[in-house]
Structures are given as structure tokens and as C-alpha cells.
Amino acid sequence: MGAIEDRRVVVTGVGAVSPLGNDAASTWEGMKAGRSGVRLLENMDTTDYTVKIGGEVRGFDPKPFFSNPKDARRMDRYAHFGIAAAQMALTDSGLLESDVNRDRIGVMLGSGIGGLGVLEANHTALLTKSPSRVSPFTIPMMISNIASGVFSMEHGLGGPNMAIVTACATANHSIGEAWRMIKFGDADAFIAGGAEASILPMGVAGFSNMKALSTRNDEPERASRPFDTGRDGFVMGEGAGLVVIEELEHAKNRGANILAELTGYGLSADAYHLTSPHPEGIGASRCMDMALKHAGLNAEEVQYVNAHGTSTPMGDVCETKAIKRTFGDHAKEGMIVSSTKSMTGHLLGAAGGVEILACLMAIRDGVIPPTINLEDQDPDCDLDYCANTAREVEVKAALSNSFGFGGHNASLLVERY
């Protein structure tokens, strides 16, 4: 085993379930086309709600992703999404098709909120029926680590297994900490990312009453509009995004298809406010600085930033300031920023897992996905946000930002291999 700094980490598989499609390919095609996945909500009665829109996953069947389809009934919807995306990433990588040591393969499948649907249903049963009507599976179904654990059981993966919970930074932290463990020599490969399914009465009411969500109910597809003067809050989304990352020699020895190299990971705290970002973007900038330092890159060497870009009035301005703080003149003179949340809505703990897909595919295809609905750009958001139409650009290095309630910041940097 070489020194820690010699252990390079590459991405060899991707999987996704999103409002744009139930696999990575259709999700990416939707992004390139500038298609919105936001609709009027179908899976809950919104009669009494001020928010009636969201990025729901449609037409999804979890059963094919379980060796025993009955097991799907003992899982929350977030776990369905997570296990499906993890399985697709694993299949894409071909990791288990060769002779690998499964005790050196880890799983890091996190969720910002976890099994809210199970909690809602069983709390209702408790209050309206009796304690005896609460399912004995309630606790294992609702806890945020269970999808990660179940996936390891499905495939006999005995490596490190964790579930990070850092709100909207969850998936990026999961991938980044898996990267760190591979670098440190504690594993050869990881399936890592995040999953979320919180478009539920409690989730919608909670975020809505915070005044965090868009109420553009009459124009769902135009509701998520990062960096636009008409933005009025984020749009809730659901789904999952997972990647397979592995040590370079491990990947080469089995003839893996290498999508990109994961070279940088930054993390920081705003240490500022429960839900608001630091007004000058200091913590977010420090996070991006760390990712660049780990990668050994200068700011000028990054062509694309997939922004956190949630479509909130304050958040988009703060992130713009953070990007300018880190990238200096290059932020305006040669770098493109976009927010794919304009199309998917905000997948909360799964967001970074779907957005790293956009960075990987931008490198592979030479296409930067757009920020749709950017019709009247906020003068305080003064970067090139790839408005409305995808752009063909050679991308050698791309950075993905995820920032969560509690001031949690996480950035990932991927480069062409």
C-alpha cells in the first residue's frame, strides 16, 4: 500500500433516481435539454397547503432492486430510491463482476431526513388507533442509516458503512468522506451518495411554514429559478444519486471504465445561523478553497461549477459572493456556473449525489447543463450561469457545491482522467 497521498481515487459508476428520470441516463438527458421535472404534487392532497408543487419521482417501482421483492415493503421510500440508485451505480461500474475483496468495499448512503413517510404513517396509527398498531418495523424503517446497511447486506459488502446526516450537504459529505477513507487505505472502493423522500405532509408543511419554498403554484415548471429576480424560494424534490468510487490501481486492475478522477473535497461550517448562509459566503468559500487545495489546482483550472443554487433570495447571492471570493477574476472571465436545481428542484440530502452526475457528464460529453428560468438575472448575481440553454464547452475540472441547514458546507472536485 502506497502513501496516503499516492492513493488516487476515480469514479467508475453512477446511478440516479430523480424528477427528470429513474436512471442516470434519462436524468442527464433531461438536464441537457433544460427540461423541468417540477409539477403539481400528485402523491399528497395539497388542498390546505400554500405550496402545491414539487419535483416528484414518477413511475418508479422499487421491487426489481431487491433480491427479495417483499423486502421493499419493509423500507421507506427514501431507502427505495437510495438502494435503486446504488444498485444502478454498482451495475454501471461492474465492480462485483470481477474477483474483488468485498470486505474492502464500503457503503456511505446518507439521507438528510430519513424515513419521514414511515414516521408519519406510524405516528398517525399511534394517535388514531392504538400503540399496538405501530409497526414493529417502524424504527429500522425510519432511521437514516438503514438504506446503507441494507445495501451492504444485499451484496455482502463488509467494508466501512456509515450514513452521514448534514441536511442538504449529506451526499457531498458522504462521497467526500468515502474518498478520504480510500485515500487513507481503509477501503478500496465505496458506493456513496444520498437519498431523500420528504415530499410529504410534514415535510411540505414544515418547509413551507419557514417561508423557504416557492409558492409559484400556477407555473410549476417555472418555479425554480436560481439567480433570477423572480425567485421566491426553493422547490422540494426527491430521489437519490450514488457513485462508485475506487482506488485507481484497483480500478485499473479490473479493467474498469473510469469516468473521472475525484481529486478534491472541501468541508467547513458557517458557524453563523440555523438556516441562513453567511451573508458574505465566507464558510462556503473556505470549503471551495479546501477542495482546490486538495486537488492541487489553481482557480483558473476549473471550467464549471455546479452551484448549490437553490432559488432562495439570500442563498443565491451568498453563493455568488463565495464563488467570487474563491475564484477571483476567473469567476467572471472564463468559468461557467449553473444550477441544475432549476430543473430537478432541491433533492435535499440527495442533491449532491445527482449534481456530481452533472459534473461527471459535463466532463465526459463536453456539455454544461443550463440554469433554466433565468429570465431577469439578479444584478447581485453577476456570473455566467449558463442561462436557459446547455452549452458545449470542454470541461477538464468541475466543482460541485452543497450547503445545508446548520451551516454545513461540502464541495467536491472532479477532473478528467
Q: Is 273 a catalytic residue?
A: no
Please give the Cα distance from 318 to 333 (Å, whole number). 19
Provide mean pLDDT across the span 280-296: 97
Active-site residue 168, yes or no? yes
Residues 185 and 73 in one domain: yes
More confident residue, 4 or 307: 307
- Residue 318 is among the residues annotated as catalytic for this protein: no
Residue 130 has pLDDT above 50, yes or no: yes
Summarize the confidence of residues 384-388 as an average pLDDT. Answer: 98
Domain match, 243 and 308 both: no
The CATH number linked to 297 is 3.40.47.10
Contacts of 68 (CB under 8 A, 6+ apart): none
Q: In the predicted model, what is the mean pLDDT of residues 75-101?
A: 97
Q: Which of 80, 173, 308, 408 is catalytic?
A: 308
Domain finish residue from 253, 277, 304: 253
Q: Phi/psi of residue 5, each to 5°? A: -70, -15
If asked whether residues 315 and 235 sit together in one domain, one would say no
Give the pLDDT confidence score for residue 6 in this predicted structure. Answer: 80
Residues 324 and 224 in one domain: no
Q: How far apart are CA 179 and CA 174, in angstroms?
A: 9
Q: What is the mean pLDDT of residues 366-370?
A: 98
Catalytic residue among 346, 381, 386, 408: 346
User: Does residue 274 share a domain with residue 194?
Assistant: no
Note the helical H segments in 105-256. Answer: 116-128, 138-142, 146-155, 170-184, 201-209, 248-253
Structural domain contains residue 72:
yes
Looking at the 3D structure of the chain, how many domains does it have?
2
What are the angstrom distances between the C-alpha of 79 and each of 71, 140, 257?
11, 11, 27
Instruction: Give the span between the Cα atoms of 386 and 149, in whole angstroms.
Output: 39
pLDDT over threshold 60, residue 284: yes
Q: What is the pLDDT of residue 86?
A: 98
Predicted local distance difference test score (pLDDT) of residue 274? 87
Say if residue 248's pLDDT is above 80.
yes
What's the whole-number mean pLDDT along residues 138-148? 96
Shared domain check, 160 and 73: yes
Query: pLDDT > 70: what percent of the chain?
Result: 99
pLDDT of residue 150: 96
Show which of 219, 253, 287 is a domain's final residue. 253
Q: What value does the mean pLDDT take over residues 139-143?
A: 94
Domain presence at residue 259: no
pLDDT at 4: 56
* Pair (324, 214) in one structural domain: no
Would strands 9-17 and 260-269 be described as parallel, antiparallel, or unpaired? antiparallel
My answer on whether 87 and 215 are in the same domain is yes
pLDDT in tens, 256-277: 999 999 999 999 999 899 888 8
pLDDT in the model for residue 1: 41
Q: What is the mean pLDDT of residues 42-62?
A: 97
Residues 6+ apart with CB under 8 A from 279: 314, 318, 321
pLDDT band at 297 (very low <50, low <70, confident <90, very high): very high
pLDDT for 181 equals 98
In a domain, 1, yes or no: no
DSSP 221: G
Task: Say if 411 falls within a structural domain.
Answer: yes
Specify whether 225 is located in the same domain as 278. Answer: no
| Residue 226 resides in a domain | yes
Report the relative pairing of strands 408-415 and 260-269 from DSSP bridges.
Answer: antiparallel
- What nine digits make up the cell of 263? 481529486
What pLDDT, on a 0 to 100 scale, did the predictor assign at position 2?
46
Residues 291 and 234 in one domain: no
The mean per-residue pLDDT over the stretch 194-199 comes to 98
User: Is 354 a residue whose pLDDT tops 70?
Assistant: yes
Q: Model's pTM, two decimal places? A: 0.97
pLDDT band of residue 368 (cuts 50, 70, 90) is very high
Domain-embedded: residue 92:
yes
Long-range contacts (CB closer than 8 Å, 24 or more residues apart) made by 374-378: 374/225, 374/226, 374/227, 374/228, 374/342, 375/225, 375/228, 375/230, 376/228, 376/229, 376/230, 377/227, 377/228, 377/229, 378/227, 378/228, 378/229, 378/231, 378/316, 378/317
243 and 341, same domain (yes or no): no
Active-site annotation holder among 80, 168, 173, 250: 168
In a domain, 28, yes or no: yes
User: Residue 197: which residues within 8 A CB-CB, separation 6 or more?
Assistant: 57, 76, 77, 78, 80, 81, 116, 117, 238
Do 226 and 291 lie in one domain? The reply is: no
How many angstroms separate the CA atoms of 322 and 268, rounded?
13
What integer best gives the mean pLDDT of the chain? 96
Q: Which residues pair with 183 in a beta bridge?
A: none
| Alpha-carbon span 408 to 268, nearest angstrom | 6
pLDDT for 1-30, tens place per residue? 445 568 999 999 999 999 999 999 999 999
In a domain, 258, yes or no: no
- Residue 92, helix vs strand vs coil: helix
Domain that holds residue 350: 264-415
Of the three residues 221, 253, 285, the one that is the final residue of a domain is 253
